[in-house]
Structure 1
Amino acid sequence: MTSKANPVRFVPRGFVPTREQQDIQLSRHRVTLIEANAGAAKTTTLALRIGEAIARGMPPGKILALVFTPQARDVMKTRLVDIGIPHSTAAQIQVRTFEEFAGEVLGAIEGPGPARLGSAQELKPHALAAIEQVSLGYAGATEFLDIRSHNVAISQFLECQLRLKATMALDENDGDTGLEESAERLGVPLTDYLWTLEYERIRLGVFDEVLFRGPFDATYDLARQLDDFPETKNALPRYGLVAGDELHDLNEASFRVLEALLDMDDLYFVGAGDRDQVIHSSLGADESYLGHRFTDKHAGCVRYPLTMTYRHGPHLAYAMEAFKQKPVDSSLPVITEIIQLHYGQARLEEGAARVVDAIGKWKSDGFPLEACAILLRERHQSVAIENALMRANIGYRTQGMQGYLQREEILFLRGMIAIALKNLASVESAAIRKAIVESLAIFGEVAFTPQEMDYAKSVIAKDPQILNSFFTGQIQRSQSEKARTRISSAVAYMEGVAAETPADAVLRDICERMDLVAVAQRIYVHPHDAAVVAKSVDGFIEVARQSGMNLRQFSEWIGAADAFVATRRSRNLVLLECVANSKGKEFDHVILPFLENGEFPSPMRDLKEEENLFYVGATRARSRLTLISPEDESTRSPFIRRMELASSRARALAAVQKNLAQTGAAPSRLELRVPYSDKDTVKSLGAQWDAARKVWYVKAGLDREPFKPWFPEE
């Protein structure tokens, strides 16, 4: 709270800081941690602290703001200007992602930097070169190697090496531990562990001259250098204030970089995060960083809360307060609706129908579809929902995941249908034809080299008629006798099946002949991912059953669905994405479907992280949250009960009325237009100078009449 001994120097434009925000703005502690709720204006409060530092004389070039994503970086830059810091001043503040900052520091050390590769496609050649080295160097020396080079394997490898780097676990091997033991200790497959070692040998070059950097590699490389060569700290730029946003995404590598900055003399740090938004543990995020890691080293570290949310009204704020058992409030004079819809025993069909009902109500209320987001616990849930949206002619877009018809497991089944009907040519998109060929090879466990895979995709995409003969000829290359027997049986069955056979019966037979669940468990490293694939396949078979179509009709329907997706308009589309990808976003209307035991929370994931995922999903909503769950209360997600919706309703309504009564409060100050020659005059009349925004102003409560000559023009 401001006092005569420590008055506020920076007054923001457009809002009056709360007492909590003002305490943070005026903090004189060397390390200040902000424990914030979702939507609590973390970024704005950090900008407020930066504005105060500038007003007290800190050069803006000596201030660093660190974030995790380019989107968060852009938001921070916008907030600095929004609160009243002049553009020219804000431009001098160093706003960087951790990766950008680490890259700049390494660039100063290394000189001209290595190639920056930002996508999986750019990293793929290096990943393939590394797995070839594993095959050549370890195949005879190590048991249990599983050498695969298809896109699923590469994707899983890139995720694995990213986690090992983020947690700094890759550097923990003491040299005396065997390869199998090291992989087991790290909890990764032996092949992926060796793949990562060879990949790093390629990336770092013969003489430790880095040849390229992919996502997060700069942060990892800098953290590693700081550990191996402590003098690297001398290369860090000198700052007076460092502000860190979204600290719930901290992992070991980024924390070590941050700690190196905090070791500087005369540096102040303020960081904000919400430990209830730790949802990326697979990438090393852990609540311990916000919990005790800072305080373990910085005894004078203080914590300030940000309990007020500015994203939604009291109804959702109090529901989250009950769910997370922590103070949450809202000063917004709005009712954020929380609507519950239920489905019966035909859970997939009825649950998807309730999603369509929720969107229909939203649209009939006059709101745009593009303001609505369906947030899924897992991607398999989209199968029924996408079909329901197509039937209702509701345009949608997916983000962070493919639509279900273009996922590997469904593409495999589409390929088997094409073998039966000899109609791959009916798939209009060459890209989808190529993806079908690759999925047939993946699930058929055919041992193509990368070059052979590319050749097969290219040739068959151009001449779809050769699919049957080509694929039949390649079956003998499956990696095991059992795999060859399974795929041979499945292909022979499909080539003999009648086009008038019910589609669901054919698909079910194929899955049984292939033992597709077991195949998925071999292909996907994590049991959870294999289970999601199995559910996705079950959902696809259910679509076929509900359609009542035979195999030929179902194939034609798939073509029409492809066309619907390909021709959908680019605007006013409902968003469909997984909850885990929604953090940092907000939507007017959020729909959370299939809230039942076994789905959300998932029994295969840590319960605490499942709670955090639900919290993240629910708090993306601004004006409406729709919860879709079973009619049978005993099977509903326990998260709904913990929101205590009925008991908090009266309190929330009273809070909305109180907030409405307070919306007419007077502004905190009046800014003046004062020529330099008049500065002493307005100062003598009681005007104050805002050094950060470089403007004279009249504080609230002071008679404004004497300042009329300097009032801003209307």
Structure 2
Amino acid sequence: MNKHKSDERFFERKRREAGVQLNEVQQQAVLHTEGPLLLLASPGSGKTTTLMMRTGYLIAEKGVNPARIKAVTFSRASARDMSERFAALFPELSDTRVGFSTIHSFAFEVVRAYYRARGETYQLIEGEIEQEAEDELREADLPILHKKPILRQLYRTMTGGGSLTEDQMDDLTTYISYVKNKMLPEDRWNEAKCELKDADKLLRAYEQYKLRGTDRLLLDFDDMLTVCHRALTEDPRLLRRYQHRYDYLMTDESQDTSLVQFGIVGLLAASHGNLCVVADDDQSIYGWRGAEPQYLLDFKRHYPSARLLKMERNYRSAPEIVDAAARFIRRNKNRYDKAMFTKNPTGGRIALRMLADYKAQAKYVTTALEGTPPDVTSAVLYRNHTSALVLVNALDRAGIPFNLKDGDKRFFSHWVTQDVLNFMRMAFTDRRPELLERIYPKLAGYITREQMNALLRIGGGQVSVFDTLIEQVPLKEYQVKQLRENKDTFGRMQAMNARQAIRTIRYNLGYERAIERLCERFGFRQEMLLGVLNTLEDIADGLETMTDFAERLKYLETLLRSARSRSREPGAVTLSTFHSAKGLEFDRVYMIDLADGVIPSNDDIRKYDKGDAADMEEAVRLFYVGMTRARRHLELICYQKKDGAAVKESRFMTAVRSFGGAGEHGGAGAAAVTADRVPRTAGAGAAGQPRAAAMARSGGSAIGAPAIPDAWQGELPAYLKAGARVSHRTFGPGVVLSADMEAIRVSFAEGDKKLLTQVCLEMGLLKPVKKRTT
């Protein structure tokens, strides 16, 4: 597209005023205002700036009324960011009313007009409700007009008294969103994946309740979209009203758009065709909730006259990272062919770490983050929420500030967590029948419901509930023996440290076997439930008593509530899932838990092995999103074992490992990818050489600190004797109380600290303090 002198003056003026200097493709995107445009924007390619410049160009140069421009994105944060960015780039237009909004807020406006014209009333049922308020409404026999309580009640009715766990509720609401966003007809609802049995029947009951269960129509957020689409399709006058309101439509982050959302935008643009779609098919990572990347690949079929532009220059990352990410994403076949590149200076690094054991991961990351300058931004990315808890625990103990992007605070109220705490309470007082009632189905005692009811009728007293059961309730002979063993086990738990107690609950009291039975019966994900138990064990590590453990859990729960407010603290590390990290960037990025079965998931692998590559391609895109968050420093981290079982490195990490040779752009990637397979013997590298020297000679990455194996296996220095005076890099001077191969206890001015021997010696955190001579 040829630029006129007025266009050139526009670009030059914004370069002087706002420092914005667009490349050739970005300028073409700004100038293509008439007709459909698909703008494919690689990570870090300046898409938001380009979109805002295009909006400003329409107003300032083409004289378009700002009210006739609609810019739609798919989160409130993105809509707010667009509005702020536009005001910063065009302060002279700050009083104009450009329609920056989410698709849901636009849909709500249409739905409101639709029902108002029909004279119908409705009520939104989204949002949380306090448990106390829900209980009060239920006791008063009043309708609870909130989505989740409605679903819980319908499930109880359908199952004859069953209850939904929070995990099942999440799975169910995701399933409902998927069905709605895919616009699946009712006879295909059972095709959508949901771990909850008969989810399609429950959805059918839910839809009926919303229509006829109360004196008004009930709508949730997903209904906003489906009703909006139906209204625009069925009501020509309403459609013309909104088509005539907007002359120019723009959608950002369009790879996250669902079929119903594309349908809404398509209806609005049908009258003039002035539609600009900004997207990156390589960053479409929300297929599980209905995103439809195939629509982008078919864009020219929907809009034959559309122009396609590719913003392939990355302004964010070092060439080493850009090169590796660009090569990695080419694993996918169902994508636009793009060649992401950068002109940024070299000097970035990708390091691959293979640790000896899962427990070394949090220690390694914590040590690598220690001493990071406040002006260097860092992030730790993972696929599953449970990965965050172990990191939160380790970072807090190390005194490293962090913010949690999207923490799952329900971990602390999860029924597995509450079960473990109730088992621990039983160890302190086994005289309360109501406490046993909470755990008896998961205890290796084979107590029946009838026997439990008999115990409740007898009530508590001054003797153990186990003695009461044995002496006053009819039992089988095998039950008597098992209950006596349980009583003895609970008694011994009082003297155990927290981790020993949890392992006793799992293996001696039968809790893990009970988990397996529950998974078989109700379809719970065993891997996820065992992950909760493993995380509890990790948190318990180093805590001397069960009371310490309970207090630690309460402290961490409070800490997570305040984690978001710490985001502006200098040097705060961001903890985030790969999904929530999209759109963000950091100087240093650590991607953890990179194992087959995690990313890609076992489900991804199973489907791929059967010839269905869709989920595997989405997993590739998710990994790519993680890689492209890093500016200069990217580490990929896995481990050889977890809970005693061998772990297979993620095939994605293996793929990046293969990039260790020369890169595709003039050798830019030659030294980009380095690997460090950490041996178990600390302090020595190949052939028993000191680790740092061995790494230097082998070309190992020098990023961060040496990786940490399970425990220090060298000799303790002579200065670490009880009573010796030492100085810690962070805590200052102190006196050694005790030291062994695992931990060093030191009394500092702020209190006693238990320090990991491994970390202190490898990082040189403790130094001897010489006695003064007179």
Is the shorter-chain TM-score for this pair beyond 0.5, marking a shared fold?
A: yes
After TM superposition, give the deviation of residue 16 of structure 1 in Å: 1.6
Q: How does 1:629-644 map to 2 (within 5 A)?
A: 629-630=638-639, 635-643=648-656, 644=659
Describe the shift of the 1:274–1:239 C-alpha distance in structure 2 as closer, same or farther (beyond 3 A): same
Describe the shift of the 1:135–1:565 C-alpha distance in structure 2 as closer, same or farther (beyond 3 A): closer
Describe the SS at the equivalent of 1:78: helix
Q: 2:78 aligns with which of 62, 72, 78?
A: 72
Describe the shift of the 1:186–1:564 C-alpha distance in structure 2 as closer, same or farther (beyond 3 A): closer
Q: How does 1:301-700 map to 2 (within 5 A)?
A: 301-325=306-330, 326-333=338-345, 335-344=347-356, 347-360=357-370, 363-364=371-372, 366-367=373-374, 371-402=377-408, 405=412, 407-422=414-429, 495=490, 498-501=493-496, 502-503=500-501, 504-512=503-511, 514-520=513-519, 522=521, 527=525, 530-541=526-537, 547=542, 553-563=545-555, 566=558, 571=566, 572=569, 573-605=572-604, 606-630=615-639, 635-643=648-656, 644-648=659-663, 651-652=667-668
After TM superposition, give the deviation of residue 493 of structure 1 in Å: 7.8
Describe the SS at the equivalent of 2:129: helix
Instruction: Tell me if structure 2 keeps the 8 A contact 1:130–1:202.
Output: no
For residues 201 and 437 of structure 1, the distance between their equivalents in structure 2, rounded to whole angstroms, comes to 40
| C-alpha distance after superposition, 1:318-364 (max 9, x if no partner) | 121111234112234474443333311xx21112222112212xx34
For residues 50 and 132 of structure 1, the distance between their equivalents in structure 2, rounded to whole angstroms, comes to 48
In structure 2, the residue matched to 1:3 is: 3
For residues 161 and 348 of structure 2, the distance between their equivalents in structure 1, rounded to whole angstroms, comes to 51
In structure 1, the residue matched to 2:206 is: 199
Instruction: Tell me if structure 2 keeps the 8 A contact 1:319–1:645.
Output: no
| C-alpha distance after superposition, 1:143-200 (max 9, x if no partner) | xx8842454443333222222211112xx135xxxxxxx5533344454323323333
Matched residues, percent identical?
21
Q: How does 1:213-292 map to 2 (within 5 A)?
A: 213-229=219-235, 232-237=238-243, 238-263=245-270, 265-292=271-298
In structure 1, the residue matched to 2:127 is: 119
Instruction: Tell me if structure 2 keeps the 8 A contact 1:380–1:536.
Output: yes
**Which one has the bigger helix percentage?**
1
AA of the residue aligned to 2:266: E
Describe the shift of the 1:522–1:394 C-alpha distance in structure 2 as closer, same or farther (beyond 3 A): farther
Q: How does 1:66-215 map to 2 (within 5 A)?
A: 66-84=72-90, 86-88=92-94, 91-111=96-116, 114-121=122-129, 125-133=146-154, 136=157, 147-169=162-184, 172-173=185-186, 183-188=189-194, 189=196, 191-205=198-212, 210-211=217-218, 213-215=219-221
For residues 248 and 181 of structure 2, the distance between their equivalents in structure 1, rounded to whole angstroms, comes to 25
For residues 288 and 490 of structure 1, the distance between their equivalents in structure 2, rounded to whole angstroms, comes to 60
For residues 654 and 505 of structure 1, the distance between their equivalents in structure 2, rounded to whole angstroms, comes to 51
For residues 437 and 270 of structure 1, the distance between their equivalents in structure 2, rounded to whole angstroms, comes to 62
After TM superposition, give the deviation of residue 101 of structure 1 in Å: 0.5
| C-alpha distance after superposition, 1:355-402 (max 9, x if no partner) | 112212xx34x2358x32211121233354344334423344433233
In structure 2, the residue matched to 1:142 is: none
For residues 483 and 34 of structure 2, the distance between their equivalents in structure 1, rounded to whole angstroms, comes to 70
Q: Does 1:31 pair with 2:36?
A: yes
After TM superposition, give the deviation of residue 273 of structure 1 in Å: 0.8
Instruction: Tell me if structure 1 keeps the 8 A contact 2:126–2:221.
Output: yes
| C-alpha distance after superposition, 1:92-145 (max 9, x if no partner) | 111110000111122222239744455343888444345545655x56xxxxx8
AA of the residue aligned to 1:76: M
For residues 22 and 193 of structure 2, the distance between their equivalents in structure 1, rounded to whole angstroms, comes to 47
In the alignment, structure 2 segments of 5+ residues that lack a partner are 131-143, 331-337, 444-459, 470-478, 605-614, 673-774
Instruction: Tell me if structure 1 keeps the 8 A contact 2:426–2:436.
Output: no
| C-alpha distance after superposition, 1:528-580 (max 9, x if no partner) | xx422223323434665x54x7xx71442341353366368853343322212
For residues 99 and 461 of structure 2, the distance between their equivalents in structure 1, rounded to whole angstroms, comes to 58
For residues 513 and 551 of structure 2, the distance between their equivalents in structure 1, rounded to whole angstroms, comes to 25
After TM superposition, give the deviation of residue 68 of structure 1 in Å: 0.3
Describe the shift of the 1:424–1:94 C-alpha distance in structure 2 as closer, same or farther (beyond 3 A): farther
| C-alpha distance after superposition, 1:650-686 (max 9, x if no partner) | 7449999xxxxxxxxxxxxxxxxxxxxxxxxxxxxxx
Describe the SS at the equivalent of 2:221: coil
For residues 152 and 399 of structure 1, the distance between their equivalents in structure 2, rounded to whole angstroms, comes to 20
AA of the residue aligned to 1:348: Y
For residues 439 and 303 of structure 1, the distance between their equivalents in structure 2, rounded to whole angstroms, comes to 61
Describe the SS at the equivalent of 2:208: helix
Instruction: Tell me if structure 2 keeps the 8 A contact 1:375–1:617.
Output: yes
In the alignment, structure 1 segments of 5+ residues that lack a partner are 140-144, 175-181, 426-435, 445-463, 474-483, 657-714
Describe the SS at the equivalent of 1:282: helix
Instruction: Tell me if structure 2 keeps the 8 A contact 1:248–1:273.
Output: yes
Describe the shift of the 1:10–1:621 C-alpha distance in structure 2 as closer, same or farther (beyond 3 A): same
Instruction: Tell me if structure 1 keeps the 8 A contact 2:190–2:200.
Output: no
For residues 191 and 511 of structure 2, the distance between their equivalents in structure 1, rounded to whole angstroms, comes to 35
AA of the residue aligned to 2:364: R
TM-score, length basis structure 2: 0.66
Q: Does 1:50 pair with 2:55?
A: yes
Instruction: Tell me if structure 1 keeps the 8 A contact 2:249–2:275.
Output: yes
After TM superposition, give the deviation of residue 246 of structure 1 in Å: 0.2
After TM superposition, give the deviation of residue 603 of structure 1 in Å: 2.4
AA of the residue aligned to 1:327: A
For residues 295 and 348 of structure 1, the distance between their equivalents in structure 2, rounded to whole angstroms, comes to 47
Describe the SS at the equivalent of 1:341: strand
Describe the SS at the equivalent of 1:604: helix
AA of the residue aligned to 1:277: Q
In structure 2, the residue matched to 1:477 is: none
TM-score, length basis structure 1: 0.71
CA RMSD of aligned residues (A): 4.2
AA of the residue aligned to 1:597: D
AA of the residue aligned to 1:535: G
- Aligned pair count? 582
For residues 529 and 268 of structure 2, the distance between their equivalents in structure 1, rounded to whole angstroms, comes to 44
For residues 237 and 382 of structure 2, the distance between their equivalents in structure 1, rounded to whole angstroms, comes to 47
For residues 442 and 159 of structure 1, the distance between their equivalents in structure 2, rounded to whole angstroms, comes to 30
In structure 2, the residue matched to 1:699 is: none
| C-alpha distance after superposition, 1:506-539 (max 9, x if no partner) | 33334556421342465566x4xx4222233234
For residues 519 and 509 of structure 1, the distance between their equivalents in structure 2, rounded to whole angstroms, comes to 18
After TM superposition, give the deviation of residue 283 of structure 1 in Å: 0.8
Deviates most, 56-65 or 575-584? 575-584
Describe the SS at the equivalent of 2:278: strand
AA of the residue aligned to 1:99: H
For residues 489 and 597 of structure 1, the distance between their equivalents in structure 2, rounded to whole angstroms, comes to 43
Instruction: Tell me if structure 2 keeps the 8 A contact 1:131–1:195.
Output: no
Instruction: Tell me if structure 1 keeps the 8 A contact 2:175–2:192.
Output: no
After TM superposition, give the deviation of residue 299 of structure 1 in Å: 1.2
